[in-house]
Structure 1
Amino acid sequence: MEQKLHLVFGGELVDPTKNVFKDIEALHVVGIFSEYEKAFDACKAEAQKTVDNAHMRYFITDLGSLLDEGAAGRAAQDLG
């Protein structure tokens, strides 16, 4: 069975036209979700809370692709 993992996170951007965070240490990690739909709902809810700040952005990233053993460059390292 294939496991899906979706990370939802966000933060304030230096410029709203670019994906460069103002302060990486201040990123808001919303959580990890097994279903894209749940990740999307969480991302949308967090974005709605900051709708008045044009520099705030929330993102969904597919963690499964980072853990894929066939991924070029080995994006994630297993330290277990």
Structure 2
Amino acid sequence: MEIKIGVQHTPREIVLESGQSAEEVERAVAEALAAENKLLSLVDERGRKVLVPASRIAYVEIGESAARRVGFGTL
């Protein structure tokens, strides 16, 4: 699952591939926004943890990962 996180006052977004379901990611975002510690914590496919302060989250886009096309025959 591909997750894109827009961060306020930052020109680039955070993009990661995660094995979590869309419901799990949505629940984690909602809990981070409502919790006292205000920290969003997600884990990517390689086991790396991504931490984002909830007060700086502009948006979170949750979508299916697309197969990467390589070469001229994939037009």
The answer, yes or no, to whether TM exceeds 0.5 is: no
TM (norm. structure 1) is 0.40
TM (norm. structure 2) is 0.41
